[in-house]
Structure 1
């Protein structure tokens, strides 16, 4: 009886230790999930922030200032979608309305409400995957907040450069973006051209 009890305890302890190890690995993957699919070279002034599920449709991470660690570039309402007032970021999307011509991406329908395109989509050459760049304006406050707080016109919106990446035979797509007040269109194109996708980046099964 003692042997059986000791064996049971040993198995229980071993199982507990193994379970803890598996949980840590899962958490680490969740915190850095986009690293499994995409890599890139950020501008010298930026570093990667932590993973956040609120970005895009399937999560992403913001880019933060290397000197301060701050990710917020300008003030915004507490109801403003995560990342709209940031220095930039990278996001994963599912079933965006993408338009292709002979397998080449040439347009992406606006994925958000309270935003607008400021330019037409333009192809970005020398990217690993078909890509387009577009300038976007995001609303940072609601109409009632603007009236109540008397916010200046130059503080109402943020402007971003977005590059969307997509394949015609995949429901998965990606976007990488930079704040247009801090970075140029050329900076954003250079960042996009540095992007490398892992083999499984566009073969993710969504349940």
Structure 2
């Protein structure tokens, strides 16, 4: 009798774990209404789900299909009251990654991001502040805090209309010296930003403002 009861408890725990995992997966990466522009010019409207590796699963009344950078050009996701735009860009010469479009100014400067939550790329979401004294980098190169996971936007930028972007950093508190080095390198053609950096408290979370300033005051028209 005791054995049967133990087996029932174990089975219940296993089922609870499976249900919990499934629920978290659906909550963390659900389908949303979306519009896809394929590289052959075709436009698809239906529902799409972005996977952590940047591939896109699409479904409508007639089909279910998966896309990546080889056949998908741009993606619009309708999330609550917002329309979120995505495109593929090349990072450090590797295969293109799906990036969220934050700001695009043709022939000037562009800002993109990937949203990281619980050590996974989720693409849709908002970052939350963390204690900079608790930050660390794990063996996979993912930033964590207090032994847990980090929620943050990982920023990428480029100038002009090229397909390759460079990583600027995360929108989280970080040592100011490192932030200055990154900004000095990328915005070296904008002395105004470099001067402001010396006399201000700019942080990584201010990157969108720096990009806006560069577009208005430094970028070639």
The TM-score, its normalising length taken from structure 1, stands at 0.30
Structure number having the greater strand percentage:
2
Using structure 2 for the length normalisation, give the TM-score: 0.28
